[in-house]
Amino acid sequence: MNEPFPNVADRLATSPLEQYRSYLSQGKLAYQVDESGRALFYPRVAAPAGYQGELSWAVSAGLGTVYATTYISPRGVPAYNVALIDMDEGFRLMSRVDSIPPEQVAIGMRVKVRIHPADNDEGPYPVFDAAEPNT
């Protein structure tokens, strides 16, 4: 006999996105790995083509390198940067580097994750600070 289809609340409570957000709420940047240990990001239900088997969770040490960056200067608000960060564990994510002026963020710069806390309707999310030269 088939198992009943779980209700929407049960499915959302255990979705990969909710699991990722749960890690962020604990101050951790989590990512998924396949059975061979290959990292992937953004969280998903099943491994994409080229990955093997079931996905499991791992927690990043939080160190990475700026792969690409740009900054945006909208009229009337402070400039901000958008950066692609290559994490040491082998996955890439889009975020920003907050600890320095946006025009000073450079390709190849070492960065360390910091989890921006939830506020209003927005949940926690990862941002980065320039890493100390010896990290």
Domain 8-130 part of CATH 3.40.50.880? no
Q: Give 63-92 pLDDT, tens digit per residue.
A: 999 999 999 989 999 989 999 999 999 999
What residue spans of 2-112 are helical by DSSP H?
Answer: 8-13, 16-25
Extents of the domains making up the chain? 8-130
Q: Give 9-65 pLDDT, tens digit per residue.
A: 454 457 899 999 999 999 999 999 999 999 999 999 888 888 888 899 999 999 999
| Closest to 126 (Cα-Cα) out of 40, 39, 55, 42 | 42
